[in-house]
Amino acid sequence: MRVSALSATAALVVATLAGGAAPAAADTPAGPVLQADLDAGNGLHHSTGKVFYERVDGAANAVRIISVYVTGGDRDCAWVSWNDPHNADGWSNLTSEPSCSGTGLEEHPGLIIKAPVGHPLKVRLAAYHSDSAEVKHKDIEKL
């Protein structure tokens, strides 16, 4: 009897310790949700964007992109991107497609973006006129 009671007690202690470790990690509060507002152009070329993000706890210079909202101007297409130090042109898109001609686009990428310490993370709203491939209007905000 003593051996089985001891084994049962040991199993209970091990299960309690193992079960206690998982909730502790899950109970770690997420950081506050932050917002970067983007605004570029005017009149028929007015585009806007919003990026909702949170800092990644314990990671240097990293944020989780929760959601991205973008509306291209009536005569524009607009993208939201971040200043990716690993991309040849320095920017990587946060939206999978542009928002064009006054339509809105909402995406929830859940993406973690990282940069080396000392490289300030930024987001950019880049708007292109419908008849051009070059950025005509932009707004950049630091995260």
DSSP assignment of 107-130: E---EEEE--TTS--EEEEEEEET
Residue 115's nearest CA partner among 50, 64, 60 is: 60
CA 6 – CA 9 distance, rounded (Å): 5
pLDDT value at position 30?
60
Q: Can you give the pLDDT of all 143 residues of the chain as single tens digits?
A: 444 444 444 444 444 334 443 333 344 456 799 999 999 999 999 999 999 999 998 888 899 999 999 999 999 999 999 999 999 999 999 999 999 999 999 999 999 999 998 999 999 999 998 777 788 899 999 99
Continuous segment of H or E residues that includes residue 104:
strand 104-107
